[in-house]
Amino acid sequence: RALRRAERIPPEKALRMAAASVEWLRDGFWPRASPPACAHAELARYAGPAYVTVAMFALYYIFLLFQTYSKLYLLNKRTPPAAAGRALGPRLRTALGVQPYRYHDPVTAAIKYGNTLDPLAILGDRMVGNTLEQLSPFLGSLWLYSIFVGPERAWLTGSVYIGSRALYPALFWAGSPWILLSTVPGYAIIWYHLGATLYALQALS
């Protein structure tokens, strides 16, 4: 009987029923996002600061990768192969071209953690350390400025900050006072964001 009833259903109605079933399943497992509180044009104004935020996180993770690989490079260069073989058995090589190590091994720890003897290790640590020190102040001040002053100029100041931060490895390697060409513009932009935000808040009150 069920087959006979199904045969009598018009194709158009069957398609509508199938579409309704798919929509029901989609809404159940993948709920639709609620419409934004502000108009699309208003959201588009914040595209610049959003791009700057994504670029900042991308640069941060590039620095993290450099920090990690610089230590692995030094480990591969400095650690005797025999010691690595005793610790891990066969001398396997990873896809990056460095040998795996046990990080609690004293020889490994001396190179990877607290290494103040290798310029490459110091460079990797400071690239990440200085970026992380200023990450929260920069992103926080960027979005405060975007909200209370305007996102258009935040795109410009944020781009200048990203550019100066990208120069940090080369300028750190060059030494003082060249490193100030990377750090001082960043500090100035952060405090400009904060000062302009406070000024805008005073005008609102």
List CB contacts of 88: < 8 A, sequence separation 6 or more.
Answer: 99, 100, 101, 102
The pLDDT value given to residue 142 = 96
Of 125 and 116, the one with more pLDDT? 125
Residues 138-192: tens digit of each pLDDT: 999 999 999 999 998 999 999 999 999 999 999 999 988 999 999 999 999 999 9
List CB contacts of 112: < 8 A, sequence separation 6 or more.
Answer: 71, 75, 103
- Residue 8 three-state SS: helix
Query: Would you state the structure tokens that stand for residue 98, as one six-digit string?
Result: 């460095």
User: What is this structure's pTM?
Assistant: 0.67
Residues 29-64: tens digit of each pLDDT: 444 555 555 566 677 888 899 999 999 999 999 999
Whether the predicted pLDDT of 65 surpasses 80: yes
Count of C-beta atoms within a 10 Å radius of residue 171: 17
The pLDDT value given to residue 149 = 92
Residues 87-112: tens digit of each pLDDT: 444 444 444 444 555 655 666 666 66
Average pLDDT on 56-85 reads 77
Spell out a b/e string for 16-25, using b for 16 or more CB atoms within 10 Å of the CB, else e: eeeeeeeeee
Compute the distance between CA of residue 21 and CA of residue 33 in angstroms, rounded to an integer.
19
Q: Are 188 and 198 in contact (CB under 8 A)?
A: no
| One-character DSSP codes across 86-149 | HHHSS----TTS-----TTSHHHHHHHSS--S-HHHHHHHHHHHHHHHHHHHHHHHHHHHHHHT
Largest CA distance in the chain: 89
The pLDDT value given to residue 180 = 94
